[in-house]
Amino acid sequence: MATVAEGVRKPPRRSFGESALPYLLSLPALLVCIGILVPFVTAVWYSLQRYNLAMPYLKGFIWFENYKILFTDTVFWHTVWVSLLYTVLTVGIELVLGLTIAMLLQRSSAFNNAMSIALMLPLMIAPAIAALMWKLMTNPNFGIFSYLLSLVGVTDFRWGSSPSSALFTVVLVDVWVYTPFMMVLLLAGLRGLPRQPFEAAELDGVPWTFVFFRITLPMLFPYILTAGLFRMLDAIQQFDIIYAMTQGGPGDTLMVFQVQAYLEFFTYTNVGRSAAILMVLWAITYFLSHQFIKYWLRLRERARGVA
Amino acid sequence: MHPAIRVVLLTLIGLFFLFPIVWVFLMSFQTNETILRIPPSLVFEPTLQNYTALISGRLETGAGVLELAFMQNLWNSFVLSFCSVALSLLLGVPAAYAFARFKFFGSEDIAFTLLSFRFAPALLVLLPLNLYFQDIGLNDTYIGLIWVYQLITLPLILWIVRGYFEDISPDIENAYRVDGHSWFSTFMKISIPLALPGIAAAALLSFIFAWNNFVFALILASADKQPVTVGALAFVTASGIQYGQIAAAVVLSILPTLALALYAQRYLVEGLSLGAVKG
């Protein structure tokens, strides 16, 4: 039954209606979400079936056959590899770049604050639309970036349409959209750090490398970890940017988890295999989201303490 | 660091992040002829023809006049985002209050489950729904989409608003209760007004996220219910090489969220971190 949270004085009177109150308040939200759990359970079920929309007569329960086929298939391992590569590259670059910008803007001044707001704008653009913008700018006929490259003598760089540069191109768009996220969180973190250690270091004339690696980084670590995990959760599932840019191509160059699952479903109508791919992705995100929420809760406790 | 290096670095960073927005904005006022000119030039006669074509829904292409309902896409984006946020507020604010004020059986597990929806692969839910929606009559309806959009808006609102309720001292509420007011009137007159900044922040941010969503509508909506994100992509395929109009479509689809973000800037940090970091 409902008990009152720690530190809360007992309200004056408590009737049956009042002890049922928390359930009544959260029930509608819960019901809406349970409706969403149904397709999730269905997906688990599909992943254990031979189920191809083109061949419904073959439908049948096959235990873990879909997974067995996946794990022995080089196509699947390619998907895993590309997804991990994409995640590591984007999150890594965004962390370094975001931290650099945050440190440049650390001192609170009118210019720095205006700059940090302006830099936030790409984050407010839909990733699919952002990919479209970059497509316009990297078009071989009139794209401004293609033109700028031709000025320095590079004429055969084909951005998203060549297997050798497609990954670079989508990572670039991801970095453009999401670096502001890192910047915003790390900037808030930096500005919230206590002053004394930095003042003491300055008085002692400690070199800046020491200050950065021994004071700034360790103190900022909870923020870096939380922001990094948050971005990893999104990056490993990236769909919008890659789909809008190349639809996973050229060839199978950018077949990340969700794009691969999408094509399995709609192009090859292989529902069972598509569901199995998504279950593997779900297992990864479930683990990551537990980690994220753990560190997120710690960070929030800290924010409470400061506030 | 030398101030000059700092200025150079910041200029480069500013160019990288803002140039694409400015460039596409400029493109949207150019005819195809000026866009295709080599070398590209900042000097051009601005034209509104891309926008008038989009607004009237009639595109002059090389192959004749093409009817396109881009305004319908904009309207769909607005309806979907606005209604999703409204529903999420209705469902999420009371639930957030419950999680903030009471420890009850399963409360932490439920709250965690609701948040974990934010992080689960969207296709895992969308692909089975794609097979269901026809059977349960939600195919191609706003209601079906708004329901699924709760996956985006509800966790955000629930977790941000919960933090704001936790920051309000229960003593204020109890004092009002002692005066003989009902629980409901306390909730409406004391708790909600005190948490209002948080509720507004969560609503604005979830509106932006709903607006920017792509994959939900890609899989579940047919042409006349598609939001701008899906519409703009379909538009590229349909209009082919009408680059000025593509740029204008991009500008029209990003302006609302950019404007909202600038308006709500002081809430962005807290909202983006789900309330973990104070801005």
Beta strands in chain A (DSSP E): 3-4, 49-50, 60-61
Helix axes B3-27, A166-192, angle to 10 degrees: 130
pLDDT one-digit tens code per residue, A141-181? 888 888 888 888 887 888 888 888 899 999 999 999 999 99
> Is residue A306 very low, low, confident or very high in pLDDT (cuts 50, 70, 90)?
low
Name the strand (E) or helix (H) holding B142: helix B142-167
* pLDDT at B62 (0 to 100): 62
Helix or strand (DSSP H, E) at A53: none
CB pairs under 8 A between A and B: 293
> Which residue shows structure tokens 């930095």?
A198
A184 touching B, CB under 8 A?
A: yes
Structure confidence by residue, pLDDT tens digits, A35-93: 778 888 888 888 888 888 888 887 888 888 889 888 998 889 999 999 999 999 999 99
Dihedral of CA A209/A211/A215/A220: which sign?
negative
- Predicted confidence (pLDDT) at residue A1 exceeds the cutoff of 60: no
Enter the DSSP assignment of B219: H
Collect all residues of chain A within an 8 Å Cβ-Cβ radius of residue B258. Answer: 121, 124-125
Q: What span, in angstroms and rounded, lies between the C-alpha atoms of B67 and B56?
A: 9
Q: Are strands B64-67 and B58-61 parallel, antiparallel or unpaired?
A: antiparallel
For chain B, say whether A238 makes contact (Cβ under 8 Å).
Answer: no
- List the single residue in B with minimal CA-CA distance to A41: B125
| pLDDT for residue B273 | 75
Residue B277 sits at the vertex; the CA angle it makes with B274 and B279, to the nearest 5 degrees, is 110
> CB B212 to CB A127 under 8 A?
yes
pLDDT of residue B66: 72
For tokens 């779900």, the residue is A282
Chain B interface, mutation test: which of A19, A27, A142, most B Cβ atoms within 10 Å? A142
Cross-strand pairs, B60: B65
pLDDT digits (tens, 9 = 90+) for B129-144: 888 888 888 878 899 9
Question: Confidence band (pLDDT; 50, 70, 90) for A16?
Answer: low
**Which pLDDT score, from 0 to 100, does residue A2 have?**
45
Q: What are phi and psi of B58, to 5 degrees?
A: -120, 115
Tell me, what's the pLDDT at B279?
58
Q: Please list every residue in chain B whose beta carbon sits closer than 8 Å to the beta carbon of residue A21.
A: 98, 102, 183
A221 touches chain B (CB under 8 A): no
Whether B207 has a pLDDT exceeding 90, the answer reads yes
**Which A residues 50-89 touch B at CB under 8 Å?**
none
Strands, E, within A42-114: which ranges?
49-50, 60-61
pLDDT tens-digit profile of B6-19? 889 999 999 999 99
Question: Which own/partner contact pairs does A118-121 have at CB distance under 8 Å and 24+ positions apart?
Answer: A118/B14, A118/B17, A118/B18, A119/A180, A119/A183, A119/B13, A119/B14, A119/B17, A119/B18, A120/A180, A120/A183, A120/A184, A120/B261, A120/B265, A120/B268, A121/A180, A121/B17, A121/B18, A121/B21, A121/B258, A121/B261
User: pLDDT band at A15, cuts 50/70/90?
Assistant: low
- Cβ distance of B95 and A121 shorter than 8 Å: no
Strands A60-61 and A49-50: antiparallel
What are the residue boundaries of the structural domains of chain A, listed by start?
A: 75-306
pLDDT at A243 over 80: yes
Which amino acid is it at A237?
Answer: Q
Query: Span A191-208, mean pLDDT?
Result: 87
**Topology annotation, domain A75-306:** MetI-like fold (1.10.3720)
A254: enclosing H helix or E strand: none
The amino acid sitting at B115 is: L
- pLDDT given at position A127: 95
Spatial distance between the Cα atoms of B9 and A115, rounded to a whole number of angstroms:
13
Let me know the angle formed at the C-alpha of B204 by B198 and B209, rounded to the nearest 5 degrees. 120
What's the whole-number average pLDDT of chain B?
86
Query: Residue B61 in contact with residue B45, Cβ under 8 Å?
Result: no
* A124 to B112: CB separation less than 8 angstroms, yes or no: no
Nearest CB among A8, A124, A285 relative to B258 is that of: A124
Instruction: Kindly report the nearest CA distance between residue B63 and chain A, in angstroms.
Output: 20
Percent of chain B with pLDDT over 70: 96
Distant-in-sequence, close-in-space partners of B161: CB < 8 Å, separation ≥ 6: B92, B93, B96, B97, B195, B198, B199, B202
Average pLDDT, chain A: 87
| Partners of residue A52 on adjacent β-strands | A270
3-state SS, residue A49: strand
The whole-number pLDDT of residue A90 equals 97
Q: What three-state secondary structure class fits A52?
A: strand
Tell me which of A29-33, A278-282, A284-288 is least confident: A29-33
Q: State the Cα–Cα distance between residues B211 and B230, nearest whole angstrom.
A: 11
In chain B, which residues have their Cβ closer than 8 Å to the Cβ of A306?
A: 278
Model's pTM, two decimal places? 0.90
Taking CA atoms, A65 is separated from A46, A62, A259, B117, in Å, by 12, 6, 22, 27
What pLDDT band is residue A228 in, cutting at 50, 70 and 90? very high
Q: Tell if the CB–CB gap between A29 and B250 is shorter than 8 Å.
A: no
pLDDT top residue among B160 and A1: B160
pLDDT the model gives residue A187: 92
DSSP state of A212: I
Closest-CA distance, B228 to chain A, in angstroms, reads 9
Give the pLDDT score at A4: 47
Assess contact for A244 and B253: CB atoms under 8 A. Answer: no
Q: Which residues of B173-196 are buried (b: 16+ CB within 10 A; e: fewer)?
A: bbebbeeebeeeebbeebbbebbe
pLDDT in tens, B41-90: 777 888 888 898 888 877 766 666 777 788 899 999 999 999 999 999 99
Q: In chain B, whose CA is at the least distance from the CA of A117? A: B265
Mean pLDDT of B198-203: 89
pLDDT at B101 over 80: yes
B160: amino acid identity, one letter: I
DSSP B68: -
Per-residue pLDDT at B61: 65
Chain B within 8 Å of A132 (Cβ-Cβ)? yes
**Structure tokens belonging to residue A229:** 């995990």
Domains in chain B: ranges and CATH: 3-70 (no CATH), 71-272 (1.10.3720.10)
- Considering only the beta carbons, identify the residue of A29, A124, A240 that sits closest to B215: A240
B116-132 pLDDT, tens per residue? 777 889 999 888 888 88
Return the DSSP state at B205.
Answer: H
Nearest to B95 among A29, A230, A243 (CB): A29
CA pseudo-torsion sign B243, B245, B248, B254? negative
* DSSP code at position A270: B
Residue type, B180: G
DSSP for B57-100? TEEEETTEEEE--HHHHHHHHHHHHHHHHHHHHHHHHHHHHHHH
Contact between B14 and A118 (Cβ < 8 Å): yes
pLDDT of residue A7: 47
Cis status of the peptide bond prior to B197, with omega within 30 of 0: no
Work out the percent of chain A whose per-residue pLDDT is above 90: 39
Rounded Cα distance, A168 and B178, in Å:
64
Average pLDDT on B194-219 reads 91
Tens digits of residue pLDDT in A249-258: 888 889 999 9
